[in-house]
Chains A and B, each alone.
Chain A
Amino acid sequence: MTTSTDETVALDVDGMSVDIRTPYGVVRAVDKVTFQARRGETLALLGESGCGKSMTATAVVGLLEPVADVTEGAVRITGESGTTDLRTASARRRRDIAGKELAIVFQDALTALNPVYTVGTQLAEPFRIHRGLSKKAARAEAIELMRRVGIPEPETRVDSYPHQFSGGMRQRLLIAIGVALSPAVLLADEPTTALDVTVQAQIMSLLKDLREERDMAVVLITHDLALVFEQADRVVVMYAGNVVEQGPVEDVFGAPKHPYTAGLLESVPVHAERGAELKSIGGSPPELAAIPAGCVYQDRCPIVRDRCREERPAAREVAPGHLSACHFPAEVNS
């Protein structure tokens, strides 16, 4: 895929690979992943556990564990201060971008908030670090932010500690920290997995409002098909560290052009009858250390051919903006 020159592209992940050093050798967790997120849109990174979606997000924000490295490709952020390739940028420059142009909302809000500081201190931190605000001014910003994300009585709650909030409120606080400086890109790593369904809906609607209000690109990392369908404009489907399909949600979910996406959609029990067996994809994803040559999905694919075992399919455009990494996209039927 060619790099888009679209002015609204805020995040451009271009052929990025992540390698992990293990006692048994180097394994590739993310393999030449390419996608873009534009301002004002929600892009979903969809895949099952271990597919590399979280690793991709972690690599983008530069928080990989020491044993993992981005070994090729580029991660470009375009914000108020122009475009920066995070892979080649200095540590100083990356710190300037972090929180200001690129922020992340983690999954588990209880452990992500520092237990020994008040939420006010933690919400004020982006303003202290990037705008050099005084404690008092940053505190006022923190209160305003708490009000914005719907925390009642922010003037008194600002001095409370994380454990004194409910799960939903903590997630709101995390989101508030993420959007504090209206970054160009906000990554949300399974932001609602730990919450119950009603709170989940509130959080997602808050994210959507903030995205529009602050013109951010939201990258939603999730395994939840329904969430993608409801929230995302475009979806990137990952499997075994590779992007297998991407495009507008209506296109990808309406007419999937990769057998993995098709299989995922078929396993959703929409019209399932009581007592009938639920559909699932046979087999399990390959071990990262033993990803086969050729297509990554070959062992589970219902339409696999000899060519799939020899040649790794490249992403090809099957419809405008809709890419599939399958040799035989026309034969996929949902």
Chain B
Amino acid sequence: MVTFLRRRALTSLLPLVVVLLGVFFLARLTGDPASLYLPENATEAQKETFREVNGLDLPVWRQLVDYLQGIVHLDFGTSLSTGESAAAMALRAFPATLQLAITTMVLAVLLAVVIGSWAAYRPNSLADRFASFLSMTAASVPDFWLAIMGVWVFAVMLGVLPTSGVDAGLLSWVLPIATLLLRPVGVLTQVVRGAMVAALSAPYVRLARSKGADSRRVVAHHALRNAAAPALTVAGDLAVGLVNGAVVVESIFGWPGIGKLMIDSITGRDFAILQAAVLLTAVTIFLLNIAIDICYALLDARVRDKAMV
């Protein structure tokens, strides 16, 4: 297992470096921060001073070396706009995103397992078709449209939910979670259903029935654990999407998470913040993938045996 994890960590290092470099160069394509932070009538000399102070006058390769050296010393630079440490800002925004992502994933997995298993128990029944239709629709609705419709109906027309922010307690969670939830539930329900249909017609389920196992035992004990692996793969992908992709939802609902921080840092040409935020999500996704691999091994001894080799 340790060997397996070490190998997994090493193979993940390269993509991490690529992300690091990619963000560094892409951020600099957004334009010159000097023209954004200084008044429009600032002189060229003032701009020059601004660049010098912030190290933006150096050649790009020098900036990169400085950046990479900083990372080694866990120094991720400071914000152009507030002067605050980039790492602190990213870490402060991250819990809000994680809360959203974890709540959404837990709800999505629970709903998908229940609906998917229920649909799979009698394939092509009315219940199954209904569930398939709903999940397909849920998976297809674009989140930005849903978010705006949600705000319009529940906040503007009915006035029961806040339009944005986090000040209304649990009520402020409803629209962001509902918006984020729909696609994962739809996609996961389809995956769980497919995997459960396959598992429920497998010979080991026939053997379980021949032992006198009741439906609950057959579904929850014998079939579900076999169906978990494909569901886990997709759930992992969806979780990755939530960790870095809540950008749209966080922006629309003014949710103070990492997605909103990224958008703000892009529009503010705040390179250090953007780099720190992207690096943080990249590392999270890297850890998430390792966690998923460990889950595979816990679920299925065949994976464990292969990983040992």
Instruction: Enumerate chain A interface residues (CB-CB to B < 8 A).
Output: 61-63, 65, 95-100, 103-104, 106, 108, 111-118, 125-126, 129-130, 161, 163-164, 174, 177
Q: Is B164 an interface residue (CB 8 A)?
A: no
Cβ of B222 < 8 Å from any Cβ of A? yes
| Residues of B contacting A61 in the complex (Cβ-Cβ under 8 angstroms) | 210
Are B209 and A98 within 8 A (Cβ)? yes
Task: Give chain B nearest CB distance to A250 CB in angstroms.
Answer: 32
Q: How many angstroms between the C-alpha atoms of A114 and B299 in the bound complex?
A: 12
23 pairs of residues in contact across A and B, judged by CB atoms under 8 Å: A62-B209, A63-B206, A98-B212, A100-B212, A103-B211, A108-B203, A111-B202, A112-B203, A112-B204, A112-B206, A112-B207, A113-B207, A114-B222, A115-B301, A116-B301, A117-B225, A125-B213, A129-B211, A129-B212, A161-B301, A161-B302, A164-B301, A177-B211
CA of A117 to CA of B214, assembled, Å: 18
Task: Tell me if B's interface is mostly helix, strand, loop or mixed.
Answer: helix
Chain A residues closer than 8 Å to B217, beta-carbon distance: 129
Interface centre among B207, B213, B225 (most CB of A within 10 A): B207
- B-chain residues with CB within 8 Å of residue A99 when the two chains form the complex: 210-212
7 closest pairs, A vs B, by CB? A98-B212, A99-B211, A99-B212, A114-B204, A161-B301, A111-B203, A112-B203
Q: Is B237 an interface residue (CB 8 A)?
A: no
Q: Within 8 Å of chain A (Cβ to Cβ): is B264?
A: no
Q: Is the CB of A98 within 8 A of B302?
A: no
Compute how far the CA of A177 lies from the CA of B299 in the bound complex, rounded to whole angstroms.
23
Query: Contact between A115 and B210 (Cβ–Cβ < 8 Å)?
Result: no
Complex contact B209–A116 (CB within 8 A): no
Beyond contacts A106-B206, A129-B212, A130-B212: 4 other A-B pairs, Cβ-Cβ < 8 A, are A95-B212, A104-B207, A125-B211, A174-B207
Least CB distance, A80 to chain B, in whole angstroms: 14
A residues in contact with B300, CB < 8 Å: 115-116
Q: Which of B201-249 contact A (CB under 8 A)?
A: 201-204, 206-214, 217, 222, 225-226
In the complex, B305 has a CB within 8 A of chain A = yes
B99 to chain A, nearest CB (A): 32
CB-CB nearest in chain B for A111: B203
CB distance from B121 to the nearest CB of A (A): 11
CA A118 to CA B204, docked complex, whole Å: 13
Q: Identify which of B211, B213, B302 gathers the most chain A CB atoms within 10 Å of its CB.
A: B211
Distance of A138 Cα from B301 Cα, bound (Å): 22
A213 to B136, CA, bound (A): 56
Kindly report which residue of chain A lies nearest to residue B210, judged by CB atoms: A104
Q: How far is the CB of B199 from chain A (nearest CB, A)?
A: 10
Is A164 within 8 A of B299, CB to CB? no
For the complex, give the distance between the alpha carbons of A20 and B1 in Å.
Answer: 49
Query: B185-211, CB under 8 A of A: which get 1 and which 0?
Result: 000000000000000011110111111
CA distance A62 to B242 in the complex (A): 45
CB within 8 Å for A163 and B305 given contacts A112-B206, A114-B226: yes
Asked if A113 and B204 make an inter-chain contact with CB atoms under 8 angstroms apart, the answer reads: yes
Interchain CB contact under 8 A, B212 and A63: no
Which residue of the partner chain B has the closest CB to A118?
B301
Bound-state CA distance A104–B203 (Å) is 12
Provide the residues of chain A in CB contact with B213, threshold 8 Å.
Answer: 95, 125, 129
Instruction: Give the residue among A116, A161, A163 with the most B Cβ atoms within 10 A.
Output: A116
Structural contact, A126 and B212, CB atoms closer than 8 A:
yes
Rounded to whole Å, the gap between the CB of A323 and the closest CB of chain B is: 29
What A residues does B226 contact at CB under 8 A? 114-116
A174 to B206, CA, bound (A): 12
Residues of A within 8 A of B209 (CB): 62-63, 98
Rounded to whole Å, the gap between the CB of B130 and the closest CB of chain A is: 19
A-contact bits for B132-145, CB 8 A (1 contact / 0 none): 00000000000000
Chain A residues near B207 (CB-CB < 8 A):
104, 106, 112-114, 174, 177
**In the complex, A63→B225 CA distance in Å?**
21
Minimum CB–CB distance for B153 against chain A, Å: 42
In the bound complex, CA of A100 to CA of B211 (Å): 7
Q: Which residues of A contact B206 (CB under 8 A)?
A: 63, 106, 112
- Please give, as numbers and ranges, the residues of chain A lying within 8 Å of B202 by CB-CB distance: 111
Nearest opposing residue in chain B for A126, CB measure: B211
Contacts of A112 in B (CB 8 A): 203-204, 206-207
Closest CB in chain B relative to A203 CB, distance in Å: 17
Known: A114-B222, A115-B204. A98 touches B210 (CB 8 A): yes
Check if A116 sits within 8 Å of B299, measured CB to CB.
yes
Known: A106-B206, A111-B202, A112-B204. A98 touches B211 (CB 8 A): yes
**Chain B residues positioned under 8 Å from A126 (CB to CB):** 211-212
Q: How far is the CA of A148 from the CA of B206 in the complex (A)?
A: 24
When distances are taken between beta carbons in the complex, the residues of chain B under 8 Å from A96 are 212
B204 proximity list for chain A (CB < 8 A):
111-115
Instruction: Give bound CA distance, A126 to B211, whole Å.
Output: 6
Are B211 and A115 in contact, CB atoms less than 8 angstroms apart?
Answer: no
Which of B202, B213, B214 has the largest number of chain A CB atoms within 10 A?
B213
Cα of A98 to Cα of B214 in the assembled complex, Å: 10
Q: How far is the CA of A164 from the CA of B302 in the complex (A)?
A: 9
Q: Taking the nearest CB of chain A, how far is it from the CB of B113, in angstroms?
A: 16
Residues in A neighbouring B222, C-beta threshold 8 A = 114
A111-B226 Cα distance, complex, nearest whole Å = 12
Give the residues in chain B near A111, CB-CB below 8 Å: 202-204
Residues of A within 8 A of B214 (CB): 95
Q: How far is the CB of B307 from chain A (nearest CB, A)?
A: 14
Contact partner of A114 among B201, B208, B210, B212, CB < 8 A? B208
List residues of B (282-309) whose CB comes within 8 Å of A's CBs: 299-302, 305
Which residues of chain B have C-beta atoms less than 8 A from A103's C-beta?
Answer: 210-211
User: Which residues of chain A are near B201, meaning CB under 8 Å?
Assistant: 65
Q: Which residues of B contact A177 (CB under 8 A)?
A: 207, 211
Query: Is the Cβ of B208 less than 8 Å from the Cβ of A125?
Result: yes
Q: Among A65, A97, A106, find the residue whose CB has the most chain B CB atoms closer than 10 A.
A: A106
